[in-house]
Amino acid sequence: YIMITMNLLKSSLLLLISSTSVQSFTTTTPSPLASLPRTTKKTVDLARPTTSKTTSTSLAVGTEIVEPSYNLALGSLALGAAFGVPGSPLKSKLSAFLGGIPLTLFGLFLAFQTTTLRFTLDDDNFSLVKSNLESTGENVVVGGENVWSYKSFVNYDVFPSRNFPILIYFKETQTPEDQWNIGPGEQANSEEALAKGAVRGQVHFFPAIGNTEQLIGGFEKHDCAKLDL
């Protein structure tokens, strides 16, 4: 039980770091959002532009909004309950402290992120916005809005798999190059990684708080670069 709990806690900490990095995506210069042909997906009404007290963005007609997914939040809450709820075969004082409480809190955090954030896809860019479609504002680390051109993508993937999404990953070259080796970028841009076929760029991870099939389908539709490593 101790080993299982520690592994789950380790995974939760990794997800926590990744999910907070959702608010820390980087970019150089924001691009204006163009319109897409109207699809059956949820779209934004141009006649009702969104504004913010600080920084706002206007989404064009046809911009596709990735539907939220609470699967990851519910899974974390279920694991927290399994380790912490009275009567559970996995419950003990140690498991409740090491697994139950952290996983439950983390599940609530993921539910909050899923409720308050949205990903959007237009003709040219992939963006992170608030659930009311306002801009998330300037990035607190390097500045610039959370908008990335598809042309800047050098890779993307889903971990551990597309059928069981926990983390979404993408790598881009739009961020200033002097930021690329910060955090996980140091390993992702190492000589060893490049020798295996990696391409240099800024790494981004975020928890699968949106419909993964819709998101990856959008990346494929817009011909985002993907490495077969």
Least confident of 5-14, 162-171, 176-185: 5-14
Side chain identity at 9, as an amino acid letter? L
Q: Look at phi and psi of residue 183 and say left if phi exceeds 0, alpha if psi is from -120 to 50, else beta.
A: left
* pLDDT per residue as tens digits for the range 201-220: 999 999 999 999 999 999 99
Say if CB 200 and CB 170 are below 8 A apart. no
* pLDDT per residue as tens digits for the range 175-200: 999 999 988 899 999 999 999 999 99
